[in-house]
C-alpha cells in the first residue's frame, strides 16, 4: 500500500528556514504529482505546493510564492519543500500527498486524493 513519510519539521524564528522531506513507498510506478498541504488549528487545509513527476512543473499559491520551493528526487521517490523567510502565519501541520489520474488535473494536486502522510509540525515564532 502507498505510504508517505514526512520529516524535517520543527520550530524556527520568523525569517528562518526549514526543509521538509517526504519519502514515498509501496507503489510500483511514480505518482503523477505530489504536493504539500498545511492545516493550522481552526483553519481549512491549504495546498502550498505541487510538483508533477513528469517534467517537474510546479505550482504555488500566492501566500508562499517566492518563499517556498518544492523539488523532487524521482530515483528516491522523495519530494522536498524548502521553506524560506518563514512567518508566524506559516505555523501549521504540514502534510505530504501523492496523486494519480484525476487527482492531478494539471495544476494543484487535488485535496481529495486518498494518499497522505501523517504530517509534520512547523512552528514559527515571532
Q: What is the pLDDT of residues 25-43, one digit of tens each?
A: 988 778 899 999 999 999 9
Q: What is the 3-state secondary structure (H, E, C) of the chain?
A: CCEEEEECCEEEECCCCEEEEEEEECCCCCCCEEEEEEECCCCCCEEEEEEECCCCCEECCCCCCCCEEEEEEHHHCEEEEEECCCCHHHCEEEEEEEECHHHCCCCCCCCCCCEECCCEEEEEEC
How much is the average pLDDT of 49-76? 95
> How do residues 83-111 score in pLDDT, each as one tens digit?
999 999 999 999 999 999 999 998 999 99
Share of the chain above pLDDT 70, in %: 100
Amino acid at each position: 500500500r502507498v505510504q508517505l513519510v514526512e520529516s524535517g519539521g520543527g520550530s524556527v524564528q520568523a525569517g528562518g528556514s526549514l526543509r521538509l522531506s517526504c519519502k514515498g513507498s509501496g507503489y510500483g510506478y511514480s505518482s503523477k504529482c505530489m504536493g504539500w498541504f498545511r492545516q493550522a488549528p481552526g483553519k481549512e487545509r491549504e495546498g502550498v505546493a505541487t510538483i508533477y513527476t513528469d517534467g517537474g512543473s510546479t505550482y504555488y499559491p500566492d501566500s508562499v510564492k517566492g518563499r517556498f520551493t518544492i523539488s523532487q528526487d524521482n530515483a528516491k521517490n522523495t519530494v522536498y519543500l524548502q521553506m524560506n523567510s518563514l512567518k508566524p502565519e506559516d505555523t501549521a501541520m504540514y502534510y505530504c500527498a501523492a496523486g494519480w489520474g484525476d487527482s492531478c488535473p494539471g495544476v494543484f494536486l487535488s485535496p481529495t486524493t486518498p494518499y497522505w502522510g501523517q504530517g509534520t509540525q512547523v512552528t514559527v515564532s515571532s
